[in-house]
Amino acid sequence: MAAGSAALSTLLVGLGYLSVFLPGEGLTWGPWVFVGGTVGLLTSLIFLGANGANTGRRADGDRGNGSRGEGDGPEGGTGRTRLLALVGVLWLILLGGFGVVLALPSGEAADATLWLGLPPRAAVVVVGVGLLPVLFVPLVYAWTFPELGLEREDLERIREAAESARREKE
């Protein structure tokens, strides 16, 4: 699902770039398609990266042999469901922030009202696209860590691989 979303988002980014070269002035849909593709690609890649694909586990905590990670259970839901919900909220935050920037009037007058000491568009980018995700992403990591984080076996496997690579280098 996330890989398909990443591919579709990449196509949207390409379409946004292509809109610049299409005839006609005032193509207003190009920037919106570009922003939608960029936000979709970013959140898809975050989901793919945090999904635990390289730890030998599936995103639901199942190692394929019937064992499950700590913290999975009927009361907590699966790590994948939590991660998908939280990445969806991040998608809304980013899309909303960029959407506000595109919706605000483009001409900044010298006497324009400042937001937090910045022109409105810059303030939205700094707070809505920069600061909110910086505060939100660590919470996502902390909330999904019991299901998707590394376990002792994973750490041992990584340490053994690192030690083996160090020995080969010498």
**Residues with Cβ < 8 Å from 52, sequence gap 6 or more?**
58, 59, 79, 148
Whether residue 1 has pLDDT greater than 80: no
* pLDDT tens figures, 124-160: 999 988 898 888 888 877 877 777 777 788 889 999 9
Judge whether 137 lies within some domain. yes
Judge whether 10 lies within some domain. yes
Judge whether 109 lies within some domain. no
* pLDDT tens figures, 45-90: 988 887 754 444 444 444 444 444 444 443 444 777 878 888 899 9
The crossing angle, in degrees rounded to 10, of helices 29-50 and 2-19 is 150
pTM value?
A: 0.68
The pLDDT of residue 64 = 47
Fill in the amino acid letter for 99. Answer: G
* pLDDT tens figures, 106-134: 776 666 788 888 888 889 999 988 898 88
User: How many domains does the chain fold into?
Assistant: 1
Structural domain span for residue 7? 2-104+114-169
Judge whether 159 lies within some domain. yes
